[in-house]
Amino acid sequence: MRTILVVLSVALLMTGCSSKSDSKAKTQSKEAEPLCAPAPVRYEQWEEQAKAIAGQVKGIDQVIAVQIDKDLDVAVKVTNFNRFRLESIQKEVSKRLKEAFPESDVHVTADKRLIRDLQKFSENPWPMDVKEACKQKKQFKQFEKKMKG
């Protein structure tokens, strides 16, 4: 008797959904697929390695690194007379990180506003909910567009 009730309730649940809502859900998921096909993952252990590698470059005062999937964004804070060597410092950090993480897309910046924004982003814990993770990844992609390389 219980098995019959279970089978009937499962059948009702399967047929209870209308086809219109299924088509809407499919179109929404197709829109989100390119950015969030597999759930975005933040690799904090790689971020720490990237911070250590970038911190070895002479002239850097602070390093902020965030890696989501294959994208590694690094912000370096350079002060005082080291600002005169800013371009060479960025190139050296980028070169070292590309050697250490060959399968990642590395983006390095020294822009003060982007440093502040990336710092706030890195301090927030990574959400376990897929929708929230997708929102975070979209925000992360906006940082990359501002970095331009």
Strand partners, 67: 72
User: Has residue 19 got a pLDDT over 80?
Assistant: no
The pLDDT assigned to 36 comes to 79
Q: Which residue has the higher pLDDT, 57 or 149?
A: 57
Q: How far is CA 132 from the centre of its chain?
A: 12
Q: Which residue has the higher pLDDT, 10 or 32?
A: 10
Burial class of residue 141 (count of CB atoms within 10 Å of its CB; 0-12, 13-18, 19+): middle
User: Has residue 75 got a pLDDT over 90?
Assistant: yes
Q: CB 14: neighbour CB atoms within 10 A?
A: 8
Q: CB 145: neighbour CB atoms within 10 A?
A: 8
Q: Which amino acid is at 130?
A: V
The pLDDT assigned to 29 comes to 47
Give buried/exposed letters for 18-38 (b at 16+ CB in 10 A, else e): eeeeeeeeeeeeeeeeeebee
Average confidence (pLDDT) over 59-83: 93
